[in-house]
Amino acid sequence: MNSMTAAVERLSDIRKRITEAAREAGRDPQSVRLIAVSKTFDVPHIVPVIEAGQRLFGENRVQEAKAKWPDLKAQFPDLELHLVGALQSNKAKEAVQLFDAIHSIDRPKIARVVADEMDKQGRKLKLFIQVNTGEEPQKAGVMPGELEDLVRYCREELRIDLAGLMCIPPVDEEPAVHFAFLAKRAEELGLKELSMGMSADFETAIAFGADYVRVGSAIFGER
């Protein structure tokens, strides 16, 4: 079996596991949306996954996404492309042109340039604030202590309608603690959606209320 057929089989397995995890959590399986993170995989690897019915995809770099997605989006107009990696302000224009959602808003400046671009381009993206729940120095995301100020800035100064919060738990810690924390902060701040859970921990994330899970290697294979 080649790696492309394997991706389609793994996609189907992941979908089953999402359904099971949602049922176990007493949730509607339809309420959990799967983002297939296709970073580092090229178009021939992605097309079979689209043809198998997957519509939400994630990339972590604007340049890489620009090389892969404009043609695919023209061909499949109902595709949704999510930026899950860090965004530099000099890439905001291209990001707003290409993506339908950004999961990595983590400072006032990037929120402001994205808001400006959405205005200019007349586009409305779904925006998540990434929270550095483990307070890891090398990791992107707003520190938990600065989250409330950032949310207020987005709402009051920029008039952005935020979708919710996103996190990536530290690799060596129990993810449940971080997912529970993110869910609690979202609730306290009146934010509806949670982007959390990757290949290794999406079932746990679903138990804690994930609306979007971002799964890469468990579908496409090791990078």
Q: Please, are residues 114 and 123 in contact by the beta-carbon 8 Å criterion? A: no
- Window 27 to 56, contacts with ligand PLP (CB under 6 A): 37, 39
User: Measured in whole angstroms, how far is the alpha carbon of residue 156 from the centre of its chain?
Assistant: 24
Q: Which is nearer to ligand PLP, 154 or 198 (CB)?
A: 198
Helices in 25-141 by DSSP H: which ranges?
43-51, 62-75, 92-98, 108-121
Q: Which of 84, 101, 115, 154 binds ligand PLP (CB under 6 A)?
A: 84
Closest residue to ligand PLP, based on beta-carbon distance: 216
When the beta carbons of 37 and 191 are compared against ligand PLP, the nearer one is: 37
Residue 82 is a binding residue for ligand PLP (CB under 6 A): no
> Tokens representing 110?
């990037």
Cβ nearer to ligand PLP, comparing 85 with 209: 85
Q: Is 85 in the site for ligand PLP (CB under 6 A)?
A: yes
Spatial neighbors of 56 by CB under 8 A, at least 6 apart, are 33, 34, 35, 36, 79, 80, 82, 212
Q: Which two tokens stand for residue 93?
A: 């224009």
Range in contact with ligand PLP (rule: CB under 6 A) among 11-19, 75-83, 177-185, 210-218: 210-218
CA 203 – CA 93 distance, rounded (Å): 34
- The three-state secondary structure class of 38 is coil
> Up-side HSE of residue 61: CA atoms within 13 Å toward CB?
7
- Cβ-based nearer residue to ligand PLP, 32 or 168: 168
Q: What is 163-217 written as a DSSP string? A: -EEEE---TTS-HHHHHHHHHHHHHHHT--EEE---TTTHHHHHHTT-SEEEE-H
Q: Which lies closer to ligand PLP via its Cβ, residue 18 or residue 149?
A: 18
Candidates 47-55, 151-159, 179-187, 215-223 — which segment interacts with ligand PLP by CB under 6 A? Answer: 215-223
Which one of 168, 196, 206, 210 is in contact with ligand PLP (CB under 6 A)? Answer: 168
CB nearer to ligand PLP: give 39 or 91.
Answer: 39
Q: Which of residues 92-111 bind ligand PLP (CB under 6 A)?
A: none
Residues that bind ligand PLP (CB under 6 A): 37, 39, 60, 84-85, 168, 198-199, 214-218
